[in-house]
Structure 1
């Protein structure tokens, strides 16, 4: 068993910029689940708390505005992974953010006991550098399970 294998619950997704701005892209009370399997498969889903329901029972329905709000308050993808030189590499099959489908996303990581910290490599837009820090805690499941 590798040290990342298992389920992880989101503690925080923190975004910092070179200008000193700090934000929580899905809010300070976002939730999520990250799973690494023994067969090198992975999946992640994160969502803002208190998301508004759509005015439809069709999971693919709703107005364009409702869909945009729902899309912008969650992130999910699945694929496989590998660990190399202090990085976990997510080899993404499909993502709710289509630009990541069929890509590899490198995440430098730190493992401190039951806490896992993933970072994005610095990205540069308009002269500003952005780094995301996503902190997870190992999910040990329900007591007595």
Structure 2
């Protein structure tokens, strides 16, 4: 979906409308849904990468946080595994998808360096990774 098309303007208007129609506690679900619809509308070819990257970095983030204060070597192993899987997928994909690679890698590094905590809710983390307006 082109960012300068009428379809995109209609999509954004629908996303905003959905956001305000939902109860406050449910709004982030609406954002996740519209973000996934946006990426699926662009083509299903790279959507599995988005899901794979989300799941792998979510699990690695939890593992890093669990180990970072107990066993720094294990935490570093989880960090390296997450980074290798993330950047390994990048070799198979076009450069444009690298935004996700760097965003999710930064998330893992922030947890490892204790700048942030791992998100416990995988769906909230999925929204962080896939939120479509941040691509603009």
How would you bin the TM-score normalised by the shorter chain? under 0.3
TM-score (norm 1): 0.26
Between 1 and 2, higher relative CO (CA 8 Å, sep ≥ 6) is seen in 2
